[in-house]
Amino acid sequence: MVLKFQVDALNVEKSLVMQQASNERGLILSQEKKMALCEICGSFLVANDATERTQSHMTGKQHVGFGLVRDYVIEYKVIAIF
Ligand SMILES: [Zn+2]
């Protein structure tokens, strides 16, 4: 009898955990929809973000650095190795 209560309690706990997991997955999906991938450095950017924030990304170290690497690769045709 005690075992049956334990099984019931665990089943309730399981359904709560499953529900929570699907809620979190929905949240991540809805967040992903609003994200855009930077074609230069591969960063996730917020789609339709404020112009100043996009501007600060474009002048940021990571983005500028990747841009330099891409220019180098194109210029020296290192891309053929890949
Ligand atoms: Zn970038």
Q: What is the pLDDT of residues 52-73, one digit of tens each?
A: 988 999 999 999 999 999 998 8
Predicted structure pTM score: 0.51
pLDDT for the residue numbered 28: 62
Q: How far is the CA of 29 from the centre of ligand 1 (A)?
A: 22
Residue 78, amino acid: V
75 and 52 in a single domain? The answer is: yes
pLDDT for the residue numbered 65: 96
**20/37 Cα distance (integer angstroms):** 28
- Which range of residues forms the domain containing residue 14? 1-33
Q: How far is the CA of 51 from the centre of ligand 1 (A)?
A: 14
The tens-digit pLDDT sequence of the chain (82 residues) is: 777 888 888 888 888 888 887 777 666 665 555 788 899 999 988 888 888 988 999 999 999 999 999 998 888 875 565 5
Cβ-based burial of 73 (10 A; exposed 0-12, middle 13-18, buried ≥19): middle
DSSP characters over 22-39: HHHHHHHHHHHHTEEE-T
56 and 76 in a single domain? The answer is: yes
45 and 67 in a single domain? The answer is: yes
